[in-house]
Chains A and B, each alone.
Chain A
């Protein structure tokens, strides 16, 4: 996967892609497949697909701390370990060392990062939902933020394009609130979930479906051609999949781009600035700093795709100052870094399920149950907040862990814990957060990181709408579990900050008006059209569904547009 940069004397390519994560991988694939020579620049170290998934095949007892977070990890990964499970020794070394890559929390922000090949696409939960028509229209209808410059119909064919390549297992439901996509066979719901689903339809007219997830239940030629195989149902995806059975840049887009022989990848290279040519009035390339030896270098291209992840993309733009862009690259509107959004996560309810004692499952389902948004939808009108939320969750039989809080010890206790325990069920909300210009990141005017790049400051928090919704996420979860007849219904509401929803976005939003937005309808920077931003930064609103396939669809659409424009000599 390495390349020979020196062979390219001028360091010049057709396109540069900054970042190798979910969106950067897709940009590289689309651009190379359309004939462009692409340089992908990744700030983190190289991870080789399969080979470097060092924990993937470890047995449970081979983890010294049996998967727990050590004090050392908690200190080094002080932000990453705020997300449940990411401090675990199964995955922690693949997440960014926050101590070495600190940021400043003016207001606390749980920033989850993975600086390496594939970025967070290696660690994502793979839940993949199309946005609905309403998601693109809500801002305009409600007078929130600014209007999207595109509609569902603009993205529709690109969703299909992405879904075919990624491979998403799911059930068609024919719902307007959650449009169907191009699906591989769905995974099953478990018996108590089917009971729950039926009850919810009967009592509330609320549909419940199985999660739509980027794991191959039935690989197609487009997948096997890249060496991707069927899911083996171990549900240890976050360690990296030795079968390439879930989608990541590592298993999908990067190999696809490499296959064209037009992709070069540069690792350990932090893009610190976009180079702007005042005469040509275009960006000509980027400047990098090698993270290990501090050497700087410049690379050039006709077009540049920024895919460093919402916050880093905004930071890179803010740090790229020129005569033309004294306030940061493409930042005439002063919107770069603002409108930072995320999703609400960390509240809901759980319950125990009586019955279903004979029902059990062989294999581990790397997926969940999904309850699409039902608030402020159809006849439902909430007075205390706008928009809505969806739930993810599911039922499982308790394992030996139930013994920790149960009374007893000794022979029978030990024996009993070897059998599956009762079922329990849990649902947690993902809620939409509204864009707010005061929720933002910016660069500290004085403090710099060890590479001399200004440090990022997070300054964002939930606002009234978010808190009101959060209350309802908890209350509705309790109501639904109780209505289903489950017992010991217990609500939970983790103290949380923005960021924990792991869907940071919005920091260079799309819009129609250059005065209030950063990007146009094809993700071009309004005032410098050969630069495209197609990661989460582009988002004008947040929806309540997981965002990554939308980032990929926007990326594919923009890449197609960019190459066509290049061919027409319009760029």
Chain B
């Protein structure tokens, strides 16, 4: 399956309306794909955890610096959703995973996975819903988890614990951001 086909399939899967939001809405009524019922504790299955890890790693891959998996982002995402997000967002996250399960995300190759996520990113922009869309959740948590982890932060930025002064400076070519 090439990328175009993947996207076509995703689109088909979305019920012909080409809208991720309507799929997510549909899933509300599909008991089997909505595992987090009201009041339920937010827990991911092994497969869901694996998908979260793979997506996080696509967002922040290992390069010459660590990637999302190296610094524990997948577990961080799950913990954050449980501790800091309310049910509508938790549900939205589960629904996002469910729709990716439907396109058998884990059995796609790397290019196909990226294609699906690019598609999802564009679709997310069109969504209007009260809860935070899946893509937005996983992206913000991946970035937060990565750039504030010790290894991620130190590899990405110039970490300054105690600046000791405040100075207007000129940026050098390729200079990294300071982090405090």
Contact A414 B63 (CB under 8 A): yes
Which of B13-21, B97-105, B147-155 interfaces with chain A?
B147-155
Instruction: Tell me, yes or no, whether A233 is within 8 Å of chain B by CB.
Output: yes
Instruction: Tell me, yes or no, whether A153 is within 8 Å of chain B by CB.
Output: no
Instruction: Tell me, yes or no, whether A324 is within 8 Å of chain B by CB.
Output: no
Known: A359-B171, A418-B157, A419-B177. A233 touches B140 (CB 8 A): no
Instruction: Tell me, yes or no, whether A363 is within 8 Å of chain B by CB.
Output: yes
Contact B174 A419 (CB under 8 A): yes
Q: Which residues of B contact A59 (CB under 8 A)?
A: 150, 161
B-facing residues in A48-87 (Cβ within 8 Å): 59-61, 64-72
Instruction: Tell me, yes or no, whether B170 is within 8 Å of chain A by CB.
Output: yes
Known: A400-B143, A401-B143. A418 touches B178 (CB 8 A): no
Known: A71-B86, A419-B176. A400 touches B156 (CB 8 A): yes
Which of B2-10, B26-34, B43-51, B53-61 interfaces with chain A?
B53-61
Q: Which residues of B contact A365 (CB under 8 A)?
A: 166
Contact A417 B165 (CB under 8 A): no
Q: Which residues of A contact B59 (CB under 8 A)?
A: 409-410, 413
Distance A399 CA – B176 CA, assembled complex (angstroms): 10
Contact A404 B143 (CB under 8 A): yes
Shortest CB distance B14–A (Å): 20
Distance A67 CA – B148 CA, assembled complex (angstroms): 10
Contact B60 A414 (CB under 8 A): yes
A-facing residues in B125-180 (Cβ within 8 Å): 136, 139-140, 143-145, 147-150, 153, 156-157, 160-171, 174-180
Distance A64 CA – B148 CA, assembled complex (angstroms): 10
Contact B171 A362 (CB under 8 A): no
Shortest CB distance A417–B (Å): 7
Q: Which residues of A contact B117 (CB under 8 A)?
A: 409
Q: Which residues of B contact A418 (CB under 8 A)?
A: 156-157, 176-177
Instruction: Tell me, yes or no, whether B80 is within 8 Å of chain A by CB.
Output: yes
Which of A171-179, A186-194, A292-300, A302-310 interfaces with chain B?
A186-194
Contact A410 B58 (CB under 8 A): yes
Contact B148 A60 (CB under 8 A): yes
- Nearest-neighbor residue (CB-CB) of B135 within chain A: A409
Q: Which residues of A contact B153 (CB under 8 A)?
A: 60-61
- Nearest-neighbor residue (CB-CB) of B84 within chain A: A68
Which of A64, A187, A235, A407 makes the CB contact (< 8 A) with B180? A235
Known: A361-B168, A409-B58. A233 touches B84 (CB 8 A): no
Distance A409 CA – B121 CA, assembled complex (angstroms): 10
Q: Which residues of A contact B140 (CB under 8 A)?
A: 404
Contact A234 B171 (CB under 8 A): no
Contact B163 A66 (CB under 8 A): no
Q: Which residues of A contact B136 (CB under 8 A)?
A: 404
Residue among B86, B145, B156 with max Cβ neighbours from chain A (10 Å): B156
- Nearest-neighbor residue (CB-CB) of A235 within chain B: B180
Known: A68-B84, A69-B84. A232 touches B168 (CB 8 A): no
B-facing residues in A319-335 (Cβ within 8 Å): none
| Interface size band for A | 35 or more
Distance A116 CA – B113 CA, assembled complex (angstroms): 53
Distance A544 CA – B48 CA, assembled complex (angstroms): 52
Contact B61 A411 (CB under 8 A): yes
Which of A236, A360, A404, A410 makes the CB contact (< 8 A) with B61? A410
Instruction: Tell me, yes or no, whether A358 is within 8 Å of chain B by CB.
Output: yes
Instruction: Tell me, yes or no, whether A277 is within 8 Å of chain B by CB.
Output: no
Which of B65, B83, B171 makes the CB contact (< 8 A) with A420? B171
Q: Which residues of A contact B65 (CB under 8 A)?
A: 414
Residue among B136, B164, B176 with max Cβ neighbours from chain A (10 Å): B164
Q: Which residues of A contact B161 (CB under 8 A)?
A: 59, 234
Contact A400 B147 (CB under 8 A): yes
Distance A216 CA – B160 CA, assembled complex (angstroms): 20
Contact A60 B179 (CB under 8 A): yes
Which of B83, B145, B178 makes the CB contact (< 8 A) with A362? B178
Shortest CB distance B177–A (Å): 5
Contact A360 B175 (CB under 8 A): yes
Q: Which residues of B contact A399 (CB under 8 A)?
A: 177
Known: A59-B150, A361-B166, A418-B157. A403 touches B143 (CB 8 A): yes
Q: Which residues of B contact A71 (CB under 8 A)?
A: 83-86
Instruction: Tell me, yes or no, whether A101 is within 8 Å of chain B by CB.
Output: no
Known: A400-B143, A403-B143. A361 touches B177 (CB 8 A): no
Distance A359 CA – B160 CA, assembled complex (angstroms): 18
Known: A66-B145, A68-B84, A232-B162. A363 touches B167 (CB 8 A): yes
Contact B176 A360 (CB under 8 A): no
Distance A195 CA – B85 CA, assembled complex (angstroms): 40
Shortest CB distance B143–A (Å): 5
Q: Which residues of B contact A419 (CB under 8 A)?
A: 174-177
Contact B180 A415 (CB under 8 A): no
Q: Contact flags (1/0) for B56-96 with A, using CB distance below 8 Å?
A: 00111101010000000000000110011110000000000
- Nearest-neighbor residue (CB-CB) of A236 within chain B: B180
Shortest CB distance B12–A (Å): 24
Known: A68-B84, A410-B114, A414-B60. A364 touches B163 (CB 8 A): yes
Instruction: Tell me, yes or no, whether A357 is within 8 Å of chain B by CB.
Output: yes
- Nearest-neighbor residue (CB-CB) of B157 within chain A: A418
Shortest CB distance A431–B (Å): 29
Residue among B80, B153, B166, B171 with max Cβ neighbours from chain A (10 Å): B166
Contact A362 B63 (CB under 8 A): no
- Nearest-neighbor residue (CB-CB) of A63 within chain B: B148
Which of B63, B150, B156, B162 makes the CB contact (< 8 A) with A417? B156
Distance A190 CA – B2 CA, assembled complex (angstroms): 50
Contact A362 B80 (CB under 8 A): no
Contact A233 B165 (CB under 8 A): yes
Q: Which residues of A contact B168 (CB under 8 A)?
A: 188, 190-191, 359-361
User: Closest 8 A-B residue pairs measured CB to CB?
Assistant: A363-B163, A363-B166, A409-B59, A418-B156, A360-B171, A362-B167, A61-B150, A233-B166
A188-B168, A363-B166 given; 20 more Cβ-contact pairs under 8 Å: A59-B150, A61-B150, A65-B84, A66-B144, A71-B84, A190-B168, A359-B168, A361-B166, A361-B168, A364-B166, A399-B177, A400-B143, A403-B139, A408-B121, A410-B59, A413-B59, A414-B65, A417-B147, A419-B174, A419-B176
Chain A residues in contact with chain B, CB under 8 A? 59-61, 64-72, 187-188, 190-191, 231-236, 357-365, 397, 399-401, 403-404, 407-411, 413-415, 417-420
Interchain residue pairs with CB less than 8 A apart (26):
A60-B148, A65-B83, A71-B83, A188-B168, A191-B168, A232-B163, A358-B170, A358-B171, A359-B168, A359-B171, A360-B171, A361-B168, A362-B169, A363-B167, A365-B166, A403-B139, A404-B136, A404-B139, A408-B121, A409-B60, A410-B58, A410-B59, A414-B63, A417-B147, A418-B156, A419-B176
